[in-house]
Amino acid sequence: MSMHNYIENVTIENTGGGCWVDFVHLKSGKVIGISDEAACIYPSMASFYDEDEFYQDTPTIFFPATLGEWYDRGIAAWIKETTSEGPIDWIVLKDGLRIMVAATEIRLVVATLPL
**Domain presence at residue 1:** no
Answer whether residue 72 shows pLDDT above 90.
Answer: no
pLDDT band per the 50, 70, 90 thresholds, residue 113: very low
For residue 46, the SS3 value is: helix
Q: Hey, which residues does 82 pair with through a beta bridge? A: 91
Beta strand segments in the chain, E: 7-14, 20-26, 31-34, 38-42, 60-62, 79-85, 88-93, 97-101, 106-110
pLDDT tens-digit map of 12-65: 998 888 788 999 999 999 999 998 888 888 888 988 887 665 556 678 888 766
Q: Which of 34, 41, 42 is nearest to 15 (CA)?
A: 34
Domain carrying residue 14? 7-110
- Contact present, 94 and 20 (Cβ < 8 Å): no
**Domain presence at residue 76:** yes
For residue 83, the SS3 value is: strand
**Domain presence at residue 85:** yes
pLDDT tens-digit map of 84-112: 999 999 998 887 788 899 988 888 776 54
**Domain presence at residue 29:** yes
**Domain presence at residue 2:** no
- Contact present, 35 and 78 (Cβ < 8 Å): yes
**Domain presence at residue 88:** yes
**Domain presence at residue 26:** yes
The total number of structural domains that make up the chain: 1
